[in-house]
Amino acid sequence: MDKPAIYNAILGTPWLHEMKAVISTFHQCVKFPIPSGIFTLRGDQRMTRSCFLRERKLRTASSCMITEPVSDDETDESNAIRRTRSIGKGTPSPPGNPT
């Protein structure tokens, strides 16, 4: 399997090697020696899934809207319509103009 593992991103491969860590994705734990024995760092399946889903949502996001602040001297009508920029795929439609 030639895929980067999430623990490499979080802990870093040099740290894992330096600590002589043993990884078990099945058991969701990392074990490494400490002066008083072996320390087990355990994962939380719910938290792991939540982080995975959030990261996936961010990775697959297609666009982002950035609204620019409106100065105080503009009218209330112009405050209702703010200039926007689109980053990514698609272009936002102005308020009141369906596409």
Q: Give me the pLDDT at residue 4, please.
A: 59
15 within domain boundaries: yes
- Collect all residues with Cβ–Cβ distance below 8 Å to 22 and sequence separation of at least 6: 30, 31, 32
pTM over 0.85: no
- Domain total of the chain: 1
74 within domain boundaries: no
38 within domain boundaries: yes
36 within domain boundaries: yes
Rg of the chain on CA atoms, in Å? 24
Q: Give me the pLDDT at residue 71, please.
A: 62
19 within domain boundaries: yes
Rounded average pLDDT over 75-84: 49
65 within domain boundaries: no
Q: Which of 58-62, 73-77, 94-98 has the highest mean pLDDT?
A: 58-62
Identify the domain containing residue 18 by its residue range. Answer: 6-43
Mean of the per-residue pLDDT values of the chain: 69
CA angle 52, 12, 33 (to 5 degrees): 110
pLDDT confidence tier of residue 89, bands split at 50, 70 and 90: very low
56 within domain boundaries: no
Q: Give me the pLDDT at residue 72, please.
A: 59
Q: Give me the pLDDT at residue 90, please.
A: 47
- Collect all residues with Cβ–Cβ distance below 8 Å to 6 and sequence separation of at least 6: 52
Q: Give me the pLDDT at residue 10, please.
A: 61
30 within domain boundaries: yes
